[in-house]
Homo-oligomer: A and B are copies of this chain.
Amino acid sequence: MLHQEKILNIPAIRRMPTYLHKLLKMQAEGKVSVSSTELAEYMNIELIVVRKDISLTGISGQRRIGYDVNELIRYIKAYLGWEETIPAALVGAGSLGTALLGYDDFEHYGFRIEWVFDSSPDKIGTEIYGREVLDVRQIASQFAVRRPEIAVICVSNAAAQEVADQLVASGIRYIWNFANVSLNVPPGVVVQREVIAGGLAMLAVRRKMDRKRTGSNLLQSVRKKLFHK
| Chain A contacts to B: CB under 8 angstroms | 1-2, 4-6, 8, 10-11, 13-18, 21-22, 42-46, 49, 79-82, 86, 94-96, 98-100, 102-106, 109, 111, 149-150, 173-174, 176, 180, 182, 190-211
Contact = CB atoms under 8 A, between A and B. Distances in A.
B96 A4 contact: no
A193 B105 CA distance: 15
Closest 7 CB pairs of A and B: A81-B208, A14-B198, A17-B197, A96-B99, A95-B98, A95-B99, A192-B203
Please state the number of chain copies in the assembly. 2
A92 B160 CA distance: 27
B11 A10 contact: yes
Contacts of A1: 44, 206
A194 B198 CA distance: 9
Given A14-B198, A17-B198, A211-B81, A105 B180 contact: yes
Contact of A203 (B98, B105, B190): B190
Q: Is the interface of A mostly helix, strand, loop or mixed?
A: helix
Contacts of A204: 80-82, 86, 109
Contacts of A203: 150, 174, 176, 190, 192
A189 B176 CA distance: 32
Q: Of A182, A202, A203, A205, which is in contact with the most chain B CB atoms at under 10 Å from its CB?
A: A203
Contacts of A96: 95-96, 99
A114 to B, nearest CB: 15
B111 A182 contact: no
